[in-house]
Structures are given as C-alpha cells and as structure tokens.
C-alpha cells in the first residue's frame, strides 16, 4: 500500500538519540509517508547525542495536528526537554484521544508520562525509566517492542527493526 498524502510528526529537540530519530523517519519515508520534523523553532538546527544534526521543518505552533496520521517521540535526553512544552503534551493527548499511532522509544516514555496517558497501558522502555513508567500507571514489559492499542513502544536502538514493524502495522489499521 502506498501512503502518499499521509503525514507523521517526528518531535525534535537537542540531545535526541540519533538512531531513534533517523531510523523511523527514513523507514516511514521509504513507505511513502511524509514525515515532518517538528520542534520548538522552525528551520532550526538541533543536534543528537552523537552530534548528528537535523533541521526542523516546523515549530510546535506552525502545524495543525489534525493533519497528521501519527506521531513519533525519539529517545535520548530530548524527551526531558520536550515534555516541558504544553504544545507537545497537547499533541500527544490529541493522538491519544483520536487513537492514532503514538511511537515512543527508550526515554520517550517521559513525554507520555507527562501527558498523563499511560494508566493501564502495556509498554516497554529503557529499563532506566521502568519505575517512572510504572509509577505513571503503565504495565511495563522487558521486550523489544510492544503495541497496546495505538501506543507503540520500544526499549533501545537495537530494537528499532521490531519497533518499526509495530509502528507501520498500527498505521495500517
């Protein structure tokens, strides 16, 4: 199936985990999706943990979230920054209420925790935030990737192939 005219948000801020941003973005683009890199400021260069740069397409306030089929939250240290923006939390809550795919990997669970959407949800993450996830009401599993409804989660970069199989399958629903 070709997915032209379907758009995905990939959230960006400094200190994202390079592979956890770029691998999903490239896989989705290969599958025919438009992936917009959305950050605090449009047309701004942000750097990953290992120095890989990315230039944002749009700011959080430039986009109309209803135009998108899903959202990706990469890990690294950027989720700790992203969760401080009310606009980001509103985006995540929108996708949650619409039951549209929300992808989170590694430390990205922090954003979903701050959005208050994990109560009773089966998830995984880096083991380093397991307690944060369970304290937010999530049911944590030590598995490469898991889908619970529209929330797709994964642990770390080596799990990216399985994570993207889950995410792409959720977009097919």
- Tell me, yes or no, if 3 is annotated catalytic: no
Residue 119 CB coordination number (10 Å): 9
Nearest CA to 119 among 85, 96, 94?
96
Map residue 27 onto helix, strand or coil.
Answer: helix
How distant, in Å, are the alpha carbons of 74, 97, 115, 141, 151 from that of 160? 11, 26, 24, 16, 15
Catalytic residue among 107, 141, 150, 166: 107
Nearest CA to 71 among 44, 81, 82?
82
User: Where in the sequence numbering do the catalytic residues fall?
Assistant: 107
């Amino acid at each position: 199936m070709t997915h032209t005219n379907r758009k995905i948000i990939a959230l960006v801020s400094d200190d994202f985990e390079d592979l956890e941003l770029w691998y999903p973005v490239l896989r989705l683009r290969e599958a025919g999706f438009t992936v917009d890199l959305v950050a605090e400021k449009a047309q701004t260069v942000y750097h990953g943990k290992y120095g890989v740069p990315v230039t944002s397409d749009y700011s959080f306030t430039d986009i109309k979230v209803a135009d998108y089929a899903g959202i990706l939250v990469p890990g690294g240290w950027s989720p700790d920054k992203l969760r401080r923006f009310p606009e980001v939390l509103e985006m995540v809550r929108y996708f949650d209420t619409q039951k549209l795919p929300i992808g989170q990997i590694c430390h990205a669970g922090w954003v979903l925790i701050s959005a208050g959407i994990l109560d009773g949800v089966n998830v995984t993450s880096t083991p380093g935030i397991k307690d944060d996830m369970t304290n937010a009401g999530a049911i944590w599993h030590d598995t490469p990737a898991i889908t619970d409804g529209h929330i797709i989660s994964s642990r770390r970069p080596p799990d990216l192939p399985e994570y993207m199989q889950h995410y792409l399958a959720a977009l097919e629903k």
